[in-house]
Structure 1
Amino acid sequence: MRPAAALFHEEQYFDWKVYALIGSLEALCGLAILGWTHRADVAGLLTHAWSLEFLLGLSAGLGLPFLLIVSVLHMTTEAAADVVTVWYGWVPIYRRTINLADVKSCEVVRYRPIADYGGWGVRRLADGDRALTARGDRGVRLVLADGSRLLIGSQRPEDLADVLARSARPDAA
């Protein structure tokens, strides 16, 4: 999936608190389902707790969703000479490619993820601004030819902005 002439490549994982929250919610849901299906029959539940069916059901019911969610919470940003591409997941479930010819300007910014965009991930505000972030509070804001704005979160925003600025104006390199 990597272009032959990638000038910038960054992989980011979401903050550990996101994974902890997801794991906690899954555990609570699992306990609620067990409580609902066994209707306070704790003795009956404990007699079947180590059966093969119970363990397979537990691993499939809690493990697979967690694995799927964790595999999605991975953001990759890649810039080549003519495009910048951002995608989420090891098998991309969301991909956005921007032609650098359409970029009017780019600047390194500090933003407030929750206050400005309602959190991390793929975000769109009512005014049309978009954000693609995974963690932290720094990124590169692009202003596109159509007037729209896109924030790309990065742990190395200066490097990304430098590559984008040089690629958008090849005569300046």
Structure 2
Amino acid sequence: MENKLEFTEKQRFTQWWLWLLLSAVMIYAIYNYIEDRQYFSTLELTLSIALPILIIILFLSLRLETKIDEHGISVRFFPFQITFRYYPWKNIKKAYVRKYSPLGEYGGWGIRLGLFGTGKAYNVKGNQGLQIILNNEKKVLIGTQKQNELKSYLENLKKV
């Protein structure tokens, strides 16, 4: 019987300050329309209200998904990536959980290209991630909110 161990994680942008900022932008746009409605064209009205709504819808649909099994690591940042990016274990030199600085190392959150050789990052919040070093020395960091579970999973996977 084959061992079907799998680690999965789905993350979303749930930071209160982000939702407060998005809501404030929308309220500001509506307030400006009410105060200066005689100066707004139909296009300006549409953009000032629809654009913040579309941005909120985008943030509601964003999610970082990670799947790890005995074959490799898969990650996607939906809706920007429809299919998973797959890293087979045979192409991975090292994988471990570490603390990182989203702003300092990668310039923020999302799908990011890091500075000074830190590689690519997929993250939505926090400062813990799965650091992958590929055989070709390229680096990929995947943010996690389940660092203890992920550490245990990686340790158990080595025994499989």
TM-score class normalised by the smaller sequence: 0.7 to 0.9
C-alpha distance in 1 between matches for 2:77 and 2:18: 15
C-alpha distance in 1 between matches for 2:29 and 2:85: 33
Classify 1:96/1:29 alpha carbon distance in 2 versus 1 (closer, same or farther; 3 Å): farther
Greater radius of gyration (CA):
1
For residues 77-156 of structure 1, the aligned pairs below 5 Å read: 77-89=66-78, 92-94=79-81, 95-126=84-115, 127=117, 129-156=119-146
Shift, 1:78, TM fit: 1.1
Shift, 1:125, TM fit: 2.0
Amino acid at match of 2:58: L
For residues 1-173 of structure 1, the aligned pairs below 5 Å read: 5=4, 7-14=6-13, 15-32=15-32, 38-39=38-39, 60=50, 62-72=52-62, 74-89=63-78, 92-94=79-81, 95-126=84-115, 127=117, 129-164=119-154, 167=157, 169=158, 172-173=159-160
TM-score (norm 1): 0.69
SS in 1 for 2:103: helix
SS in 1 for 2:19: helix
Classify 1:165/1:99 alpha carbon distance in 2 versus 1 (closer, same or farther; 3 Å): farther
Amino acid at match of 2:91: D
SS in 2 for 1:146: coil
Classify 1:150/1:161 alpha carbon distance in 2 versus 1 (closer, same or farther; 3 Å): farther
C-alpha distance in 1 between matches for 2:47 and 2:144: 39
C-alpha distance in 2 between matches for 1:8 and 1:122: 21
Indicate if the aligned counterparts of 1:83 and 1:98 stay in contact, CA closer than 8 A: yes
C-alpha distance in 1 between matches for 2:5 and 2:68: 6
Classify 1:162/1:125 alpha carbon distance in 2 versus 1 (closer, same or farther; 3 Å): same
SS in 1 for 2:126: coil
Shift, 1:67, TM fit: 1.4
Shift, 1:25, TM fit: 2.7
Shift, 1:34, TM fit: 6.3
C-alpha distance in 1 between matches for 2:114 and 2:98: 17
Identity %: 23
Classify 1:59/1:105 alpha carbon distance in 2 versus 1 (closer, same or farther; 3 Å): same
Amino acid at match of 1:10: E
Aligned length: 149
CA RMSD of aligned residues (A): 3.1
TM-score (norm 2): 0.74
